[in-house]
Amino acid sequence: MINLDLVAAEAAREIVRNLSSDKAKEVEALVRDTHGVVQENGPYAGLLFLLACKGDEDHVKKIRGALLSLLPKMGVEPINGTPIDILDKFGKQVCKDLDRLLLVKQLWEQTLIYARYGAKAREDEPTAASDEESA
């Protein structure tokens, strides 16, 4: 049996790992927006949102990668390729099975909640520049 809360927490930590405090607010906003799309419209829409996002490409890729990396833990083959390939594979492997789709939605929402608050906690961390100024 898989502890999905632990899986979500690990994926969220991966999203905020090595995140500098000056980028934390931007990442927190991106994660918040992604969570809103997943919550209101589902995982397919959330994935579509991340594929269409024009923000900081590294952060977008990191969030998208963390969410997609959760799928093999739920019996889905790894999904990668072009945006069209990703959406096609996601539709065939996840959206066709309602139980799996609902599980993915729940897991992604939990992951994004954890990542949001993880990024928010990073906003308050002192940066290296401010550490040098105070010394």
| CATH for 112 | 1.10.520
In a domain, 109, yes or no: yes
Alpha-carbon dihedral 124, 125, 128, 129, rounded to 10 degrees: 10
In a domain, 116, yes or no: yes
pLDDT tens for the chain, residues 1 to 135: 789 999 999 999 999 998 888 889 999 999 999 999 999 999 999 999 999 997 668 899 999 999 999 999 998 999 999 999 999 999 999 999 999 999 999 999 999 999 999 999 988 776 554 444 444
In a domain, 131, yes or no: no
Q: What is the CA radius of gyration of the chain?
A: 16
Token pair in block for residue 120: 């928010």
In a domain, 129, yes or no: no
Rounded Cα gap, residues 83 and 88, in angstroms: 9
In a domain, 128, yes or no: no
Contacts of 87 by beta carbon, 8 Å cutoff, 6+ apart: 44, 47, 48, 51
In a domain, 108, yes or no: yes
Domain that holds residue 12: 4-122
What pLDDT score does 18 carry?
83
- 55-75 in b/e form (b: 16+ CB < 10 A) is eeeebbebbbebbbbbbeebe
In a domain, 134, yes or no: no
Domain count, the chain: 1
